[in-house]
Amino acid sequence: MMKEYLRLQIHMLHRQMRAFGLGPIYAYPLAVILFLVFSYLLFAKSVYAPYVYAGIGLLALSALARKERCDFLRICFRKKAYLRLRSIENLLVTSPFVIYLLIEGAFLPAAFLFGLSAGFTLLAIPVVFSRVLPTPFGKQPFEFPIGFRRYFGAFLVLYFVSVMGLRVDNFPLLAFILGSIFALCSSFYNWVEPKYFVWLYHFREKDFLISKLRTAGWYSSLLALPILVACLIFFPDKWWVSFLITLWGLSFLSAVILAKYSVYPKQASLPEALWLTAGLLFPPILIWLLVYFYRKATSNLKPLLA
Amino acid sequence: MIHLENLSKSYGTKKVLTELKLAFAAGKVHGIVGANGAGKTTLFRCIAGLEKHLGKVSADREPLKNHLGFLPTDPYFFPKITGREYLLLHANARRQKITNLDQQNIFDLPLDEYAKYYSTGMQKKLALSAILLVPNQYYILDEPFNGVDIQSNLLITAIIKQLRKAGKTILISSHIFATLKEVCDTIYQLQDGKIAQTVDATQFDRLESEMTQVTIGKRLQQLNLK
Protein backbone atom coordinates (compact mmCIF):
# COMPACT_ATOMS: atom_id res chain seq x y z
CA MET A 1 0.00 0.00 0.00
CA MET A 2 2.87 2.36 0.78
CA LYS A 3 4.37 1.64 -2.63
CA GLU A 4 1.01 2.53 -4.18
CA TYR A 5 0.94 5.77 -2.24
CA LEU A 6 4.40 6.78 -3.43
CA ARG A 7 3.54 5.79 -7.00
CA LEU A 8 0.43 7.98 -6.76
CA GLN A 9 2.53 10.93 -5.57
CA ILE A 10 4.83 10.50 -8.57
CA HIS A 11 1.81 10.36 -10.92
CA MET A 12 0.49 13.58 -9.38
CA LEU A 13 3.86 15.26 -9.71
CA HIS A 14 4.08 14.29 -13.38
CA ARG A 15 0.57 15.55 -13.96
CA GLN A 16 1.51 18.92 -12.45
CA MET A 17 4.62 19.08 -14.61
CA ARG A 18 2.57 18.44 -17.74
CA ALA A 19 -0.03 21.03 -16.65
CA PHE A 20 2.85 23.50 -16.36
CA GLY A 21 3.76 22.69 -19.95
CA LEU A 22 6.82 20.51 -19.33
CA GLY A 23 6.98 16.74 -19.67
CA PRO A 24 8.81 14.89 -16.87
CA ILE A 25 11.62 14.07 -19.29
CA TYR A 26 12.47 17.80 -19.46
CA ALA A 27 11.27 18.83 -16.02
CA TYR A 28 13.63 16.60 -14.03
CA PRO A 29 16.88 17.69 -15.73
CA LEU A 30 15.69 21.32 -15.65
CA ALA A 31 14.95 21.07 -11.93
CA VAL A 32 18.42 19.61 -11.27
CA ILE A 33 20.11 22.33 -13.35
CA LEU A 34 18.11 25.11 -11.63
CA PHE A 35 18.89 23.64 -8.23
CA LEU A 36 22.61 23.47 -8.97
CA VAL A 37 22.74 26.97 -10.46
CA PHE A 38 20.76 28.42 -7.54
CA SER A 39 22.95 26.62 -5.02
CA TYR A 40 26.17 27.65 -6.73
CA LEU A 41 25.14 31.31 -6.88
CA LEU A 42 23.88 31.30 -3.31
CA PHE A 43 27.11 29.84 -1.93
CA ALA A 44 29.24 32.06 -4.17
CA LYS A 45 27.48 35.28 -3.12
CA SER A 46 26.70 34.85 0.57
CA VAL A 47 28.51 33.62 3.65
CA TYR A 48 25.11 32.88 5.20
CA ALA A 49 24.23 30.44 2.42
CA PRO A 50 24.40 27.28 4.61
CA TYR A 51 21.88 28.81 7.03
CA VAL A 52 19.59 29.96 4.20
CA TYR A 53 19.83 26.46 2.83
CA ALA A 54 19.01 24.81 6.14
CA GLY A 55 16.10 27.26 6.46
CA ILE A 56 14.68 26.28 3.06
CA GLY A 57 14.95 22.62 4.01
CA LEU A 58 13.17 23.33 7.27
CA LEU A 59 10.32 25.05 5.42
CA ALA A 60 9.94 22.03 3.13
CA LEU A 61 9.85 19.69 6.13
CA SER A 62 7.22 21.86 7.84
CA ALA A 63 5.02 21.70 4.75
CA LEU A 64 5.11 17.90 4.86
CA ALA A 65 4.36 17.85 8.58
CA ARG A 66 1.02 19.68 8.39
CA LYS A 67 -1.31 18.10 10.92
CA GLU A 68 -4.19 17.72 8.49
CA ARG A 69 -1.92 15.80 6.12
CA CYS A 70 -0.37 13.69 8.86
CA ASP A 71 -3.79 12.80 10.27
CA PHE A 72 -4.89 11.61 6.84
CA LEU A 73 -1.78 9.44 6.50
CA ARG A 74 -2.30 8.04 10.01
CA ILE A 75 -5.82 6.99 9.02
CA CYS A 76 -4.51 5.29 5.87
CA PHE A 77 -1.48 3.50 7.34
CA ARG A 78 -0.55 1.53 10.42
CA LYS A 79 1.82 3.29 12.80
CA LYS A 80 4.97 1.54 11.59
CA ALA A 81 4.19 2.12 7.92
CA TYR A 82 3.25 5.72 8.67
CA LEU A 83 6.60 6.43 10.35
CA ARG A 84 8.48 4.72 7.55
CA LEU A 85 6.60 6.72 4.94
CA ARG A 86 7.18 10.02 6.73
CA SER A 87 10.90 9.32 7.08
CA ILE A 88 11.19 8.41 3.38
CA GLU A 89 9.38 11.63 2.41
CA ASN A 90 11.53 13.75 4.68
CA LEU A 91 14.74 12.16 3.43
CA LEU A 92 13.70 12.63 -0.20
CA VAL A 93 12.98 16.30 0.36
CA THR A 94 16.08 17.14 2.38
CA SER A 95 18.67 14.94 0.67
CA PRO A 96 19.51 17.39 -2.18
CA PHE A 97 20.13 20.11 0.41
CA VAL A 98 22.12 17.81 2.71
CA ILE A 99 24.27 16.52 -0.17
CA TYR A 100 25.05 20.03 -1.43
CA LEU A 101 25.86 21.22 2.09
CA LEU A 102 28.27 18.28 2.43
CA ILE A 103 29.88 19.13 -0.91
CA GLU A 104 30.37 22.69 0.30
CA GLY A 105 31.88 21.38 3.53
CA ALA A 106 29.10 22.83 5.70
CA PHE A 107 28.97 19.75 7.92
CA LEU A 108 27.17 21.31 10.87
CA PRO A 109 24.14 22.66 8.91
CA ALA A 110 24.06 19.36 6.98
CA ALA A 111 23.94 17.36 10.21
CA PHE A 112 21.35 19.76 11.63
CA LEU A 113 19.10 19.34 8.59
CA PHE A 114 19.54 15.58 8.57
CA GLY A 115 18.65 15.46 12.27
CA LEU A 116 15.59 17.61 11.62
CA SER A 117 14.36 15.33 8.85
CA ALA A 118 14.41 12.45 11.33
CA GLY A 119 12.81 14.51 14.09
CA PHE A 120 10.03 15.82 11.83
CA THR A 121 8.90 12.23 11.24
CA LEU A 122 7.32 12.36 14.69
CA LEU A 123 5.85 15.83 14.31
CA ALA A 124 2.43 16.95 13.14
CA ILE A 125 2.17 20.72 13.09
CA PRO A 126 -1.37 21.94 13.72
CA VAL A 127 -2.90 24.90 11.94
CA VAL A 128 -2.50 27.82 14.28
CA PHE A 129 -5.87 29.40 15.02
CA SER A 130 -4.07 32.61 15.75
CA ARG A 131 -5.80 35.88 16.27
CA VAL A 132 -6.79 37.62 13.09
CA LEU A 133 -3.95 39.86 11.99
CA PRO A 134 -5.34 43.31 11.29
CA THR A 135 -4.41 44.71 7.89
CA PRO A 136 -4.97 48.07 6.25
CA PHE A 137 -6.22 46.16 3.19
CA GLY A 138 -9.49 44.77 4.56
CA LYS A 139 -11.65 47.09 2.46
CA GLN A 140 -10.55 45.48 -0.81
CA PRO A 141 -10.36 41.71 -0.31
CA PHE A 142 -8.95 39.28 -1.19
CA GLU A 143 -5.38 39.20 -2.53
CA PHE A 144 -3.74 41.74 -0.23
CA PRO A 145 -5.34 40.81 3.10
CA ILE A 146 -4.44 37.16 2.48
CA GLY A 147 -0.96 37.86 1.12
CA PHE A 148 -0.10 40.30 3.86
CA ARG A 149 -1.20 37.89 6.58
CA ARG A 150 0.56 34.96 4.95
CA TYR A 151 3.85 36.78 4.40
CA PHE A 152 3.74 39.07 7.41
CA GLY A 153 6.97 37.53 8.75
CA ALA A 154 8.72 38.08 5.42
CA PHE A 155 7.67 41.75 5.40
CA LEU A 156 9.01 42.16 8.94
CA VAL A 157 12.33 40.62 7.88
CA LEU A 158 12.52 42.93 4.83
CA TYR A 159 11.83 46.03 6.92
CA PHE A 160 14.36 44.90 9.53
CA VAL A 161 17.05 44.30 6.90
CA SER A 162 16.34 47.71 5.38
CA VAL A 163 16.95 49.33 8.79
CA MET A 164 20.26 47.44 8.93
CA GLY A 165 21.02 48.67 5.39
CA LEU A 166 20.36 52.25 6.48
CA ARG A 167 22.70 51.90 9.46
CA VAL A 168 25.57 50.87 7.20
CA ASP A 169 24.68 53.30 4.37
CA ASN A 170 24.06 50.47 1.93
CA PHE A 171 21.87 51.83 -0.88
CA PRO A 172 22.04 48.72 -3.10
CA LEU A 173 20.59 46.67 -0.23
CA LEU A 174 17.71 49.12 0.20
CA ALA A 175 17.10 49.17 -3.54
CA PHE A 176 17.02 45.36 -3.52
CA ILE A 177 14.48 45.35 -0.69
CA LEU A 178 12.32 47.89 -2.49
CA GLY A 179 12.21 45.56 -5.49
CA SER A 180 11.61 42.55 -3.23
CA ILE A 181 8.49 44.18 -1.75
CA PHE A 182 6.92 44.34 -5.21
CA ALA A 183 8.11 40.82 -6.04
CA LEU A 184 6.50 39.55 -2.82
CA CYS A 185 3.26 41.38 -3.65
CA SER A 186 3.33 39.74 -7.11
CA SER A 187 3.32 36.35 -5.43
CA PHE A 188 -0.12 37.18 -3.96
CA TYR A 189 -1.45 36.64 -7.48
CA ASN A 190 0.10 33.22 -8.08
CA TRP A 191 -2.97 31.44 -6.91
CA VAL A 192 -6.05 31.02 -9.15
CA GLU A 193 -9.34 31.74 -7.41
CA PRO A 194 -12.47 29.70 -8.28
CA LYS A 195 -14.50 31.00 -11.24
CA TYR A 196 -17.27 32.15 -8.91
CA PHE A 197 -15.09 34.98 -7.58
CA VAL A 198 -14.66 36.49 -11.03
CA TRP A 199 -18.19 35.74 -12.21
CA LEU A 200 -19.45 37.63 -9.17
CA TYR A 201 -18.30 41.00 -10.49
CA HIS A 202 -20.78 43.40 -12.06
CA PHE A 203 -17.91 44.82 -14.07
CA ARG A 204 -16.99 44.72 -17.70
CA GLU A 205 -13.71 42.93 -18.26
CA LYS A 206 -11.84 46.20 -18.73
CA ASP A 207 -13.19 47.66 -15.47
CA PHE A 208 -12.51 44.39 -13.66
CA LEU A 209 -8.86 44.42 -14.70
CA ILE A 210 -8.46 48.11 -13.92
CA SER A 211 -9.94 47.62 -10.45
CA LYS A 212 -7.51 44.73 -9.80
CA LEU A 213 -4.55 46.78 -11.06
CA ARG A 214 -5.58 49.85 -9.08
CA THR A 215 -5.91 47.89 -5.82
CA ALA A 216 -2.57 46.17 -6.39
CA GLY A 217 -0.90 49.47 -7.28
CA TRP A 218 -2.14 51.35 -4.23
CA TYR A 219 -1.59 48.60 -1.72
CA SER A 220 1.85 47.53 -2.96
CA SER A 221 2.91 51.19 -2.96
CA LEU A 222 1.70 51.46 0.62
CA LEU A 223 3.91 48.52 1.60
CA ALA A 224 6.88 49.89 -0.34
CA LEU A 225 6.40 53.47 0.87
CA PRO A 226 8.58 53.26 4.04
CA ILE A 227 11.52 51.92 2.02
CA LEU A 228 11.00 54.43 -0.79
CA VAL A 229 10.81 57.33 1.68
CA ALA A 230 13.97 56.07 3.44
CA CYS A 231 15.78 55.89 0.10
CA LEU A 232 14.72 59.42 -0.82
CA ILE A 233 15.68 60.88 2.57
CA PHE A 234 19.00 59.11 3.10
CA PHE A 235 20.15 58.80 -0.52
CA PRO A 236 18.63 61.87 -2.23
CA ASP A 237 21.20 61.82 -5.05
CA LYS A 238 19.92 58.36 -6.07
CA TRP A 239 16.26 59.45 -6.21
CA TRP A 240 15.95 58.42 -9.85
CA VAL A 241 17.11 54.86 -9.09
CA SER A 242 14.50 54.58 -6.33
CA PHE A 243 11.77 55.82 -8.66
CA LEU A 244 12.89 53.53 -11.48
CA ILE A 245 12.75 50.50 -9.17
CA THR A 246 9.28 51.53 -7.96
CA LEU A 247 8.13 51.94 -11.54
CA TRP A 248 9.65 48.57 -12.45
CA GLY A 249 7.96 46.98 -9.42
CA LEU A 250 4.55 48.39 -10.29
CA SER A 251 4.90 47.37 -13.94
CA PHE A 252 6.01 43.86 -13.06
CA LEU A 253 3.16 43.45 -10.57
CA SER A 254 0.67 44.64 -13.22
CA ALA A 255 2.14 42.23 -15.78
CA VAL A 256 1.77 39.33 -13.32
CA ILE A 257 -1.91 40.20 -12.72
CA LEU A 258 -2.67 40.55 -16.42
CA ALA A 259 -0.78 37.34 -17.23
CA LYS A 260 -2.87 35.51 -14.62
CA TYR A 261 -6.16 36.65 -16.12
CA SER A 262 -4.97 36.11 -19.68
CA VAL A 263 -5.19 32.35 -19.12
CA TYR A 264 -7.78 32.30 -16.31
CA PRO A 265 -9.22 29.95 -15.00
CA LYS A 266 -6.12 27.95 -15.87
CA GLN A 267 -2.94 28.43 -13.91
CA ALA A 268 -0.33 30.53 -15.71
CA SER A 269 2.18 28.05 -17.12
CA LEU A 270 5.53 27.95 -18.86
CA PRO A 271 4.97 30.53 -21.66
CA GLU A 272 3.66 33.16 -19.21
CA ALA A 273 6.43 32.35 -16.73
CA LEU A 274 9.07 32.74 -19.46
CA TRP A 275 7.66 36.07 -20.61
CA LEU A 276 7.51 37.38 -17.06
CA THR A 277 11.08 36.25 -16.40
CA ALA A 278 12.14 38.08 -19.54
CA GLY A 279 10.33 41.18 -18.21
CA LEU A 280 12.07 40.76 -14.90
CA LEU A 281 15.50 40.63 -16.48
CA PHE A 282 14.93 43.19 -19.28
CA PRO A 283 12.41 45.72 -17.88
CA PRO A 284 11.68 47.46 -21.24
CA ILE A 285 9.96 44.23 -22.33
CA LEU A 286 7.39 44.90 -19.60
CA ILE A 287 5.80 47.67 -21.66
CA TRP A 288 5.08 45.25 -24.49
CA LEU A 289 4.00 42.54 -22.01
CA LEU A 290 1.48 44.84 -20.36
CA VAL A 291 -0.22 45.50 -23.71
CA TYR A 292 -0.01 41.86 -24.80
CA PHE A 293 -1.40 40.38 -21.57
CA TYR A 294 -4.05 43.11 -21.24
CA ARG A 295 -5.47 42.27 -24.68
CA LYS A 296 -5.40 38.56 -23.96
CA ALA A 297 -6.96 39.01 -20.53
CA THR A 298 -9.85 41.18 -21.76
CA SER A 299 -10.83 38.70 -24.45
CA ASN A 300 -10.35 35.77 -22.08
CA LEU A 301 -12.57 37.25 -19.35
CA LYS A 302 -15.33 38.42 -21.67
CA PRO A 303 -17.45 35.21 -21.60
CA LEU A 304 -17.40 35.11 -17.80
CA LEU A 305 -18.08 38.76 -17.08
CA ALA A 306 -20.37 39.74 -19.97
CA MET B 1 -38.86 34.85 -15.19
CA ILE B 2 -36.05 32.59 -16.36
CA HIS B 3 -36.39 30.59 -19.58
CA LEU B 4 -34.35 27.56 -20.57
CA GLU B 5 -34.50 26.51 -24.18
CA ASN B 6 -32.95 23.18 -25.12
CA LEU B 7 -30.32 23.51 -22.44
CA SER B 8 -27.78 20.71 -22.81
CA LYS B 9 -24.49 20.09 -21.14
CA SER B 10 -21.91 17.35 -21.58
CA TYR B 11 -18.56 16.65 -20.01
CA GLY B 12 -16.67 14.93 -22.80
CA THR B 13 -18.90 12.14 -23.97
CA LYS B 14 -20.94 12.12 -20.77
CA LYS B 15 -24.27 13.89 -21.16
CA VAL B 16 -25.28 15.62 -17.94
CA LEU B 17 -28.25 17.70 -19.10
CA THR B 18 -30.32 16.94 -22.17
CA GLU B 19 -32.40 19.58 -23.97
CA LEU B 20 -34.12 21.04 -20.94
CA LYS B 21 -37.04 23.35 -21.68
CA LEU B 22 -38.25 25.10 -18.57
CA ALA B 23 -39.74 28.41 -17.47
CA PHE B 24 -39.27 29.59 -13.90
CA ALA B 25 -41.93 32.17 -13.07
CA ALA B 26 -41.37 35.18 -10.83
CA GLY B 27 -42.82 35.19 -7.31
CA LYS B 28 -42.47 31.40 -7.09
CA VAL B 29 -40.11 28.97 -5.45
CA HIS B 30 -38.98 26.23 -7.80
CA GLY B 31 -37.49 23.13 -6.23
CA ILE B 32 -35.14 20.78 -8.05
CA VAL B 33 -34.76 17.26 -6.70
CA GLY B 34 -32.73 14.34 -7.92
CA ALA B 35 -30.16 11.82 -6.83
CA ASN B 36 -26.49 12.74 -6.42
CA GLY B 37 -25.08 13.24 -9.89
CA ALA B 38 -28.48 13.87 -11.45
CA GLY B 39 -27.24 17.26 -12.73
CA LYS B 40 -28.77 19.74 -10.26
CA THR B 41 -25.56 21.63 -9.56
CA THR B 42 -24.58 21.59 -13.23
CA LEU B 43 -28.02 22.97 -14.12
CA PHE B 44 -27.58 25.80 -11.64
CA ARG B 45 -24.08 26.58 -12.84
CA CYS B 46 -25.29 26.66 -16.46
CA ILE B 47 -28.11 29.06 -15.58
CA ALA B 48 -25.67 31.27 -13.70
CA GLY B 49 -23.29 31.32 -16.66
CA LEU B 50 -20.51 29.51 -14.86
CA GLU B 51 -20.53 26.60 -17.31
CA LYS B 52 -20.50 26.63 -21.08
CA HIS B 53 -23.55 24.86 -22.49
CA LEU B 54 -25.71 24.35 -25.55
CA GLY B 55 -29.14 25.94 -25.81
CA LYS B 56 -30.30 29.24 -24.41
CA VAL B 57 -30.84 30.71 -20.96
CA SER B 58 -32.74 33.99 -20.93
CA ALA B 59 -34.41 36.19 -18.37
CA ASP B 60 -36.62 39.25 -18.28
CA ARG B 61 -33.71 41.15 -16.73
CA GLU B 62 -30.51 40.81 -18.71
CA PRO B 63 -27.73 40.04 -18.23
CA LEU B 64 -29.10 37.45 -15.86
CA LYS B 65 -25.86 37.09 -13.89
CA ASN B 66 -26.01 40.72 -12.80
CA HIS B 67 -29.39 40.15 -11.14
CA LEU B 68 -28.63 36.75 -9.69
CA GLY B 69 -27.69 35.74 -6.17
CA PHE B 70 -26.06 32.34 -6.38
CA LEU B 71 -25.42 30.20 -3.32
CA PRO B 72 -23.17 27.29 -4.38
CA THR B 73 -23.41 23.84 -2.76
CA ASP B 74 -19.96 24.11 -1.22
CA PRO B 75 -19.11 27.79 -1.06
CA TYR B 76 -15.37 28.36 -1.25
CA PHE B 77 -13.66 30.27 1.53
CA PHE B 78 -10.25 31.80 1.13
CA PRO B 79 -7.72 31.13 3.84
CA LYS B 80 -7.02 34.11 6.12
CA ILE B 81 -10.12 36.07 5.13
CA THR B 82 -12.54 37.10 7.84
CA GLY B 83 -16.30 36.80 7.55
CA ARG B 84 -16.51 40.59 7.29
CA GLU B 85 -13.98 40.66 4.44
CA TYR B 86 -15.85 37.87 2.65
CA LEU B 87 -19.04 39.95 2.76
CA LEU B 88 -17.17 43.06 1.63
CA LEU B 89 -15.72 41.14 -1.30
CA HIS B 90 -19.26 40.33 -2.47
CA ALA B 91 -20.49 43.86 -1.91
CA ASN B 92 -17.52 45.40 -3.76
CA ALA B 93 -17.94 43.00 -6.65
CA ARG B 94 -21.52 44.19 -7.01
CA ARG B 95 -20.61 47.84 -6.48
CA GLN B 96 -22.72 47.93 -3.36
CA LYS B 97 -21.86 50.27 -0.50
CA ILE B 98 -22.42 48.55 2.83
CA THR B 99 -22.63 50.87 5.78
CA ASN B 100 -23.53 48.63 8.69
CA LEU B 101 -22.56 45.02 8.30
CA ASP B 102 -23.13 44.17 11.95
CA GLN B 103 -26.76 45.23 11.74
CA GLN B 104 -27.26 42.96 8.72
CA ASN B 105 -25.57 40.01 10.42
CA ILE B 106 -28.84 38.18 10.98
CA PHE B 107 -27.19 34.84 11.70
CA ASP B 108 -25.00 36.35 14.46
CA LEU B 109 -21.82 35.14 12.79
CA PRO B 110 -18.41 35.97 14.28
CA LEU B 111 -17.54 38.30 11.39
CA ASP B 112 -14.07 39.17 12.63
CA GLU B 113 -12.83 35.58 12.67
CA TYR B 114 -11.38 33.66 9.74
CA ALA B 115 -14.28 32.27 7.69
CA LYS B 116 -12.25 29.23 6.68
CA TYR B 117 -12.48 27.96 10.27
CA TYR B 118 -16.24 28.42 10.57
CA SER B 119 -18.30 25.25 10.89
CA THR B 120 -20.04 23.95 7.74
CA GLY B 121 -23.34 25.49 8.80
CA MET B 122 -21.77 28.84 9.65
CA GLN B 123 -20.01 28.92 6.27
CA LYS B 124 -23.30 28.26 4.53
CA LYS B 125 -24.94 31.05 6.48
CA LEU B 126 -22.10 33.45 5.66
CA ALA B 127 -22.38 32.63 1.95
CA LEU B 128 -26.14 33.14 2.12
CA SER B 129 -25.68 36.45 3.96
CA ALA B 130 -23.32 37.56 1.18
CA ILE B 131 -25.92 37.08 -1.54
CA LEU B 132 -28.67 38.64 0.58
CA LEU B 133 -26.62 41.80 1.13
CA VAL B 134 -27.10 42.77 -2.48
CA PRO B 135 -30.55 43.20 -4.06
CA ASN B 136 -31.22 40.58 -6.74
CA GLN B 137 -34.19 39.53 -8.82
CA TYR B 138 -33.19 35.87 -9.11
CA TYR B 139 -31.85 33.50 -6.50
CA ILE B 140 -30.30 30.09 -6.94
CA LEU B 141 -29.86 28.31 -3.64
CA ASP B 142 -28.01 25.02 -3.98
CA GLU B 143 -28.54 23.05 -0.78
CA PRO B 144 -29.12 26.09 1.48
CA PHE B 145 -29.99 23.94 4.48
CA ASN B 146 -26.82 21.84 4.42
CA GLY B 147 -25.30 21.66 7.88
CA VAL B 148 -27.25 24.55 9.38
CA ASP B 149 -28.83 24.34 12.82
CA ILE B 150 -32.56 24.14 13.39
CA GLN B 151 -32.91 27.83 14.28
CA SER B 152 -31.13 28.91 11.11
CA ASN B 153 -33.16 26.40 9.14
CA LEU B 154 -36.31 28.18 10.29
CA LEU B 155 -34.80 31.56 9.50
CA ILE B 156 -33.70 30.51 6.00
CA THR B 157 -37.19 29.13 5.34
CA ALA B 158 -38.68 32.46 6.41
CA ILE B 159 -36.22 34.37 4.19
CA ILE B 160 -37.17 32.25 1.16
CA LYS B 161 -40.85 32.92 1.80
CA GLN B 162 -40.13 36.63 2.13
CA LEU B 163 -38.23 36.65 -1.17
CA ARG B 164 -41.15 34.92 -2.87
CA LYS B 165 -43.51 37.54 -1.44
CA ALA B 166 -41.26 40.23 -2.92
CA GLY B 167 -41.78 38.70 -6.38
CA LYS B 168 -38.34 37.14 -6.77
CA THR B 169 -37.65 34.02 -8.81
CA ILE B 170 -36.12 31.37 -6.59
CA LEU B 171 -34.56 28.06 -7.60
CA ILE B 172 -33.65 25.76 -4.79
CA SER B 173 -32.29 22.27 -4.38
CA SER B 174 -32.28 20.26 -1.22
CA HIS B 175 -32.06 16.68 -0.06
CA ILE B 176 -34.47 17.47 2.75
CA PHE B 177 -37.84 16.86 1.18
CA ALA B 178 -39.82 18.21 4.14
CA THR B 179 -38.24 21.64 3.72
CA LEU B 180 -38.85 21.66 -0.01
CA LYS B 181 -42.49 20.77 0.59
CA GLU B 182 -42.76 23.72 2.91
CA VAL B 183 -41.30 26.38 0.64
CA CYS B 184 -41.76 25.28 -2.96
CA ASP B 185 -44.58 26.02 -5.36
CA THR B 186 -43.33 23.55 -7.93
CA ILE B 187 -40.84 20.70 -7.75
CA TYR B 188 -38.96 19.36 -10.76
CA GLN B 189 -37.50 15.91 -10.56
CA LEU B 190 -34.24 15.72 -12.46
CA GLN B 191 -33.22 12.25 -13.56
CA ASP B 192 -30.44 11.31 -15.97
CA GLY B 193 -30.19 14.91 -17.15
CA LYS B 194 -33.89 15.22 -18.02
CA ILE B 195 -36.92 16.47 -16.16
CA ALA B 196 -38.68 13.23 -15.20
CA GLN B 197 -41.71 15.01 -13.77
CA THR B 198 -42.97 18.41 -12.67
CA VAL B 199 -45.32 18.48 -9.72
CA ASP B 200 -47.23 21.20 -7.90
CA ALA B 201 -47.99 21.42 -4.18
CA THR B 202 -50.98 19.06 -4.38
CA GLN B 203 -48.72 16.22 -5.55
CA PHE B 204 -45.69 16.70 -3.30
CA ASP B 205 -46.65 13.81 -1.01
CA ARG B 206 -47.06 11.47 -3.96
CA LEU B 207 -43.65 12.47 -5.33
CA GLU B 208 -42.05 11.96 -1.94
CA SER B 209 -43.49 8.48 -1.51
CA GLU B 210 -42.53 7.57 -5.08
CA MET B 211 -38.98 8.72 -4.53
CA THR B 212 -38.78 6.91 -1.21
CA GLN B 213 -39.95 3.70 -2.82
CA VAL B 214 -37.53 3.97 -5.75
CA THR B 215 -34.61 5.02 -3.57
CA ILE B 216 -35.02 2.58 -0.72
CA GLY B 217 -36.77 -0.32 -2.49
CA LYS B 218 -35.09 -3.56 -1.57
CA ARG B 219 -31.73 -1.97 -0.77
CA LEU B 220 -32.13 -2.30 2.98
CA GLN B 221 -32.58 -6.05 2.62
CA GLN B 222 -29.39 -6.15 0.54
CA LEU B 223 -27.52 -4.77 3.54
CA ASN B 224 -28.65 -7.71 5.66
CA LEU B 225 -28.78 -5.59 8.81
CA LYS B 226 -29.39 -7.51 12.02
Q: What ipTM is given for this predicted complex? A: 0.88
Q: Which of B45, B78, B99 to mutate to test the interface with A (most CBs of A within 10 A)?
A: B78
For chain A, residues with pLDDT lower than 70 are: 127-130
DSSP class of A125: B
> What H or E segment, with its residue span, contains residue A304?
helix A285-305
Return the pLDDT at B110.
93
- Chain B residues within an 8 Å CB radius of A138: 82, 84-85, 88
CA distance B84 to chain A (A): 9
Mean pLDDT across the stretch B94-121?
A: 88
Q: How far apart are CA A271 and CA A22, in angstroms?
A: 10
B169 inside domain: yes
| DSSP per-residue codes, A211-269 | HHHHHHHHHHHHHHHHHHHHHHHH-GGGHHHHHHHHHHHHHHHHHHHHHHHHHTTSPP-
- Chain B residues within an 8 Å CB radius of A202: 66, 93-95
Cα angle A209-A225-A218, degrees, rounded to a multiple of 5? 20
| Residue B142 bridge partners (DSSP) | B173
Q: How many domains does chain B have?
A: 1
B101 inside domain: no
B126 inside domain: no
Q: How far apart are CA A33 and CA A27, in angstroms?
A: 10
Q: Which residues contact A82 (CB under 8 A, 6 or more apart)?
A: A73, A74, A76
- Chain A residues within an 8 Å CB radius of B80: 133, 145-146, 149-150
A/B interface, count of CB pairs below 8 Å: 66
List the domain range (segments joined by +) for residue B64. Answer: 2-78+135-223
Query: Is the pLDDT reported for residue B178 higher than 90?
Result: no
Contact between B93 and A201 using a beta-carbon 8 Å cutoff: yes
Contact between B79 and A196 using a beta-carbon 8 Å cutoff: no
Over residues B111-124, the pLDDT tens digits come to 999 998 888 889 99
B190 inside domain: yes
Return the pLDDT at A128.
60
B168 inside domain: yes
Residues of B with CB under 8 A from a CB of A: 48-50, 52, 63, 65-66, 70, 72, 76, 78-82, 84-86, 88-90, 92-95, 112-114, 117
Q: Identify which of A126, A121, A127, A125 has the alpha carbon closest to the alpha carbon of residue A79.
A: A121
Q: A206 — contact with chain B (CB < 8 Å)?
A: no
B205 inside domain: yes
Any idea what the CATH number is for the domain that residue B199 is in? 3.40.50.300
Q: Which of B66, B79, B117 comes nearest A129 by C-beta? A: B117
Contact between B80 and A146 using a beta-carbon 8 Å cutoff: yes
CA distance A127 to chain B (A): 10
- Chain A residues within an 8 Å CB radius of B66: 202
B195 inside domain: yes
Q: What residue in B sits closest to A149 (Cα-Cα)?
A: B80
Helix A79-103 / helix A107-119 crossing angle, nearest 10 deg: 170
What is the arrangement of strands in the sheet containing B2-11, beginning at the earlier edge strand?
B14-24, B2-11, B54-59
Return the pLDDT at A225.
95
Mean pLDDT across the stretch B104-131?
A: 90
B20 inside domain: yes
CB contact residues (below 8 A), chain A span 146-175, against chain B: 146, 149-150
> What H or E segment, with its residue span, contains residue B54?
strand B54-59
State which amino acid sits at residue A227. Answer: I
Name the least confident of A231-235, A250-254, B34-38, B218-222: B218-222
